[in-house]
Amino acid sequence: MGKPLFYEIWEKPATSCIIGICSLIWLYIQKKGIGYSHVGLSYATAMEGHHWRIITSAFSHISILHLVFNMSALWSLGVIEQLGHVGLGVEYYLHYTLLLVVLSGLLVLAMYHLLIQKFKIDYFRRVTAVGYSCVVFGWMTVLSTKQPSSKLELFGFLSLPISFAPFESLVFTSIIVPQASFIGHLSGIIIGYAIAWGLIHGMNNYWAVSMLGWIVLVFIFSLKKSGTYNFNFLEIESVTDPSLPSVRFLASGNGRTLQMSTSADVRPSLV
């Protein structure tokens, strides 16, 4: 007989919170009729200054099956929070989840840039990615390296050896779900190996809080500069070099506007 659900939630507090956040965002997206082009990450929108999409794309899911698959895998990977005795644990999980969200998104853009500029495959300019799979694949990879004897449980009945799970899942999703982002999943695996092998290391509470602060600042400034959201208390003016903005705080007002840029040629990609 398995453990009661509330006990498992207690053992996986960070995982439970992330699943709750992604589920609430999915409900909000469904209620407001928001689509891929509103929250997803693409090369074209990133070049237009929509850097905030690196964050929104990671936590957004459009279809219920996409959400269920990602959250089921994430729930199984929450065992990482209980492995403090092998150098993992809750703090490690939170610190490197933050890195996985940002670095996997940046790596996706870098791969798109290479494919577009070097190989002239313009198709990837408007491929729009959404979903938490980059992070899920990253944690699969970390767990397969740190605890190769573990199992990945999906939907409560499907069990995969974690040592093969990253690449098994990469091939499986690419075949079964044609819209699945091979590049997004591969980016998560690459960052996961970089973390597991110690190529990316040294995260602690100080660096995590500092990084979170910078993420919030860049998120707000990119929302403002891209014209997506009008923060009346904040004005960004160009100086001698237009690429280096200066920031000025103004008296706050009541008027706020929300704009969502859409593209007629958007190719959704599930990550």
Confirm if 164 and 87 have CB atoms less than 8 A apart: no
Catalytic residue among 37, 42, 133, 187: 133
85 noted as active-site residue: no
Identify which of 201, 191, 75, 196 has the alpha carbon closest to the alpha carbon of residue 147: 196
Residue 234 near residue 247 (C-beta atoms within 8 A) = yes
SS3 percent helix, strand, coil of the chain, rounded to 5, is 60, 10, 30
**Amino acid at the residue 127:** V
Report the candidate in 107, 99, 57 with the shortest Cα–Cα distance to residue 270. 57
**Amino acid identity for residue 92 in this structure:** Y
Token reading at 159 = 């069990």
How many alpha carbons fall within 13 Å on the CB side of residue 202?
Answer: 4
Active-site residue among 38, 50, 61, 185? 185
With residue 215 as reference, give the H or E element that holds it.
Answer: helix 205-225
Taking alpha carbons only, the member of 115, 106, 116, 127 closest to residue 54 is 106
201 is catalytic: no
Q: Write the DSSP assignment of 37-104 as a string of letters.
A: HHH-B-HHHHHTT-TTHHHHHHH--SSHHHHHHHHHHHHHHGGGGG-GGGT-SHHHHHHHHHHHHHHH
Tokens of 94: 């939170």
Enumerate the active-site residues.
Answer: 133, 185
